[in-house]
Structure 1
Amino acid sequence: MDVPISITPADLGKVVRAARAAAGLTQVELGRRCGYSHSVISRIENGHVTPDWPTVARLATELHVAPEHLGLIHSGAPARTGAAGAPEATSLPSHPTAVDGEDAVRRRHMLTLSGSAAAAVVVGPLHTPVDAATRSAAAASIDLSGLEDALLYGPPPTAEEPTAAGVSRTVARAREALHAGAYRQLVAALPQQLALAEALAQGGEHPEGLSALYAIAARAAIKASDDRLLVVAADRAVQAARAGGHVLALAEACRMVSSGYRRAGRYDRAVQVAARAADELASDRNAPPAARASAQGQLLATAAYTAAKSEDSQSARELLAQAAVCANRTTEERTGTGWFGPRQVALHEVSVLQVLGDPPGAITAARRVETRGMPPERAARLGLDVARAFADWGRPEDCYRALLAVERAAPQEARRSSVHSLTKRLLHHEHRLDGVRDFARRTGAVAS
């Protein structure tokens, strides 16, 4: 039995775009997996074409969402056109385990949010209403409730006497946890750490560490795939940096804002935010040259990755080259705002090549990276990019080995939704790999 729904090709396109962003795929990548050109994907997302049953089913499979979340169009109900030639509503096969009213509410909820800053995760593993076996373990392993309360309602009271030195030590501990990939411990400690820095700010000192902690909170939200919390934390980081006049902290805060736009699929805006912050920093002489170059380089590398996500190969390569110039002006990889240097640029090169659909190039670039002494979180990120490249190259065994390397480097990184997506691809591969199902259970990609 077909259940009529009010979904147009334009609405369907919005949901597909949000689902693709949640999966971290470009139109080129999604098209390659489905057997279409990126122009076909673009036409679907822009509502210029009404896909048939096999096409939508294939999209649902590659995006790891239930078919009804894409407004699955019944193969026997071709799109009808109205007087003006615009496609009318089509029909959806009823779901055997869902109440029709609940389906309608869920579809309206998804379509309403698909244009918001949180769109990238609405249909993703954390928020798609699926059974417990397929929910992202990132949500279960990282309890964001305390941090969310601290951001929305203010940090809890602190018994510690607020001092500038105490805040600096707090920031150092937070960064250490982030770089180690200890996200659960980081998120648990952040509310009290923010409370200490906020108490000092209320005394009129406006420490640079306050903005730094909010930026770290934004990074933690990314690791937990909570883009709404990322937006809040990034905004607080910007406000704190501006209130204290901290140039380098503002640059890092803007980088987090750029990340928020990118994860929402607003690539042009994301590049603009990062590139503009880098340009403004170039003309500022209030920060030491090496630290300024480091912050600029981080912004430009972030912009390069975003340009690649928007399939702008030329801009991605140009921005990456500019980041390399900045990296060559600083010899320190551990800086006041995090971790940056020539190796960080090399890591972004791997990411850029992978996103641009050049798996051999990404693997070659990855082999040039010296991993000795690299923070576990960065080493895990490199492993994830390598795994993605091998998956796109059609080399599942190498993909699996790369995922095991991610787990060894930073076990909590292996519990993120991006790793789950690759793991599920391996589980459904025609050639089953020994150990993959155990890995999937161990990392939370499937129920244990």
Structure 2
Amino acid sequence: MNSRDLGTVIRAARCAQRMTQTQLGRACGYSASAISRVEGGTLRPSDQSLVLMARALGLPPSAFEAGRAATLAPDVSLDQEDAMRRRQLLLAGMATAGASVLPPSASAAAHPDTTTKIVDALYETAAGTAISLQRLRHVLAEARAQFTTARYRDLGEALPGLLATAQATRDALAGRAREEAHACVSRAWVLATELALKQHADVAWPAADRALSAAQASGDPVVEGEAARVLAITMRRAGRPAAGVDLLRRTADSLTRNGDDVSFAVGATLLMTAAYTAACSQRRGDALDLMAGAVDAVTRLPEAGPRARGQLFTVDATAAQADLYWIGVHTALGTPDEGVRYAARIDPRQLPTAERRARYGTDCARMWHRLGDHRRTLAALRFTEQAAPEEARRPALRALTADLLYAPVTVAGVRDFARRTGVL
């Protein structure tokens, strides 16, 4: 396996374990920057270091042999071969790494067909047919509705065709119409990234990169802000939270200088994401300052501004949204007790989408779990399942369910919930 392919597998396994580059480096005697070079294919570890890496990632050493036996038809070009190899290795790395995160019965469903379809869209793009911009916007709105209603499998089925159509439409246009089509392409890749993030799949990184590239070509700062947000989340997941916070801050500052309400609202959502990213790396002062800035931005938005306060592409800028982020920030900082009052202030029925209501349940479940209240943790997980059944089967929530299932104190009903959500 060449160094580039090896780096792909190592990064997929590390992200599946939610391990930072620093943590992996400590396990095998490397610095974080050395791990970055390994994952980028510019440094090849020694055989002994590979054994230590495999052990730290919970993988058999044979995992780094993935893809070696793959055969190709004689008429496959070098470019096709490279794309196919990256696809095979990325899927192999995600499947192998994901198996060590969850109990055996749950791991089989950890990376459903939706993730495979995103990889297909990245490296084996289907031929699309150009349509009108008006029709493309309508198709994109339908895909967004699948995300906001948490119909992730349906979205995964639709994404390859949407991406192919959006890209064909863009290629057929020129001038301002082409820029608008670039914006649609970017938002389609934002949806692909969001879906990959739900599955903790490493394919989120290249999908977010595609989203940002198309957003920059569109010339629309709001679309660029949306793409920057999902890219920053992938940075955090890949062990680069500081870079993610910096990207979000810069983009938010740029948006607020535009002066319009929609740009200001998107900037507020970026500050919320930056605050949570800082909290995950235990930068308490930064996290609290960023949340304070987000709250200030939200309160300055006009009351009668539906385009600013609601119906942004995936995350809204509202007081309830800020409270939701406060729960996650305090839980990540290790002060979940401070998140309880924010959870009490939210009426989940008034959250705008099923995906956001499920997020409320998820964040509350994590908060109560950190507080050691297993009964309320299960109640929050059940709320998530009721709001959006597919959310309850996400890898992170199945892992949380497994913690409850094997906790010293058994909670009534947890085994039934575990069966329903694929943990048992």
1:36-435 paired onto structure 2 within 5 Å:
46=26, 103-106=60-63, 126-128=98-100, 132-135=104-107, 137-140=109-112, 142-158=113-129, 162-204=131-173, 205-206=177-178, 207=181, 208-228=183-203, 230-284=204-258, 289-330=260-301, 331=303, 332=306, 333-340=309-316, 341-374=318-351, 375-435=353-413
Sort the Cα spacing of 1:198 and 1:44 in 2 relative to 1 into closer, same or farther, 3 A: closer
For 2:65 and 2:125, the matched residues in 1 are separated by 32
For 1:129 and 1:371, the matched residues in 2 are separated by 30
Q: CA deviation at 1:388?
A: 1.1
Give CA-to-partner distance per residue, 1:324-350, whole Å, 9 cap, x none: 122123343423433312221111111
Sort the Cα spacing of 1:105 and 1:170 in 2 relative to 1 into closer, same or farther, 3 A: same
Q: Is residue 307–residue 315 contact of structure 1 (8 Å, CA) maintained in 2?
A: yes
For 2:127 and 2:362, the matched residues in 1 are separated by 36
What one-letter code is carried by the residue in structure 2 that aligns with 1:353? H
What one-letter code is carried by the residue in structure 2 that aligns with 1:439? F
Q: Is residue 102–residue 399 contact of structure 2 (8 Å, CA) maintained in 1?
A: no
Q: Is residue 248–residue 337 contact of structure 1 (8 Å, CA) maintained in 2?
A: no
For 2:27 and 2:165, the matched residues in 1 are separated by 50
Q: Is residue 156–residue 191 contact of structure 1 (8 Å, CA) maintained in 2?
A: no
Q: Is residue 208–residue 227 contact of structure 2 (8 Å, CA) maintained in 1?
A: yes
For 2:342 and 2:167, the matched residues in 1 are separated by 42
The ranges of structure 1 where at least 4 consecutive aligned residues each deviate by more than 4 angstroms after the TM superposition are 21-26, 42-45, 121-125, 129-132
Q: Is residue 16–residue 98 contact of structure 2 (8 Å, CA) maintained in 1?
A: no
Structure 1 gap ranges (5+): 1-14, 27-41, 50-87, 96-101, 110-117
Q: CA deviation at 1:216?
A: 1.0
For structure 1, which segment, 167-176 or 254-263, has the greater mean C-alpha deviation from structure 2 after superposition? 167-176
Give CA-to-partner distance per residue, 1:261-298, whole Å, 9 cap, x none: 0111211111111111112222335xxx1110111011
Sort the Cα spacing of 1:268 and 1:123 in 2 relative to 1 into closer, same or farther, 3 A: farther
SS in 2 for 1:211: helix
For 1:125 and 1:421, the matched residues in 2 are separated by 14
For 2:397 and 2:324, the matched residues in 1 are separated by 18
Q: CA deviation at 1:403?
A: 0.7
Q: Could you say which residue in structure 2 is the equivalent of 1:443?
A: 421
Q: Could you say which residue in structure 2 is the equivalent of 1:33?
A: none
Q: Is residue 387–residue 398 contact of structure 1 (8 Å, CA) maintained in 2?
A: yes
For 2:283 and 2:146, the matched residues in 1 are separated by 34
SS in 1 for 2:350: coil
TM-score (norm. length: structure 2): 0.75
Q: CA deviation at 1:193?
A: 1.6
Sort the Cα spacing of 1:326 and 1:277 in 2 relative to 1 into closer, same or farther, 3 A: same
SS in 2 for 1:137: coil
Sort the Cα spacing of 1:45 and 1:151 in 2 relative to 1 into closer, same or farther, 3 A: closer
Q: What is the number of equivalent residue pairs in this alignment? A: 354
Structure 2 gap ranges (5+): 1-9, 30-47, 67-89
Q: CA deviation at 1:44?
A: 9.6
Q: CA deviation at 1:355?
A: 0.8
What one-letter code is carried by the residue in structure 1 that aligns with 2:399? S
Greater share of residues in helix = 2
TM-score (norm. length: structure 1): 0.71
Q: Is residue 136–residue 416 contact of structure 1 (8 Å, CA) maintained in 2?
A: no
What one-letter code is carried by the residue in structure 2 that aligns with 1:413? E
Q: Is residue 63–residue 96 contact of structure 2 (8 Å, CA) maintained in 1?
A: no
Sort the Cα spacing of 1:135 and 1:366 in 2 relative to 1 into closer, same or farther, 3 A: same
Give CA-to-partner distance per residue, 1:388-426, whole Å, 9 cap, x none: 111111111111111111100110000011111111111
Give CA-to-partner distance per residue, 1:157-189, whole Å, 9 cap, x none: 33xx51111111122111111111110011111
Q: CA deviation at 1:127?
A: 4.8
For 2:420 and 2:229, the matched residues in 1 are separated by 33
Q: Is residue 387–residue 402 contact of structure 1 (8 Å, CA) maintained in 2?
A: yes
Sort the Cα spacing of 1:404 and 1:203 in 2 relative to 1 into closer, same or farther, 3 A: same
Structure whose alpha-carbon radius of gyration is higher: 1
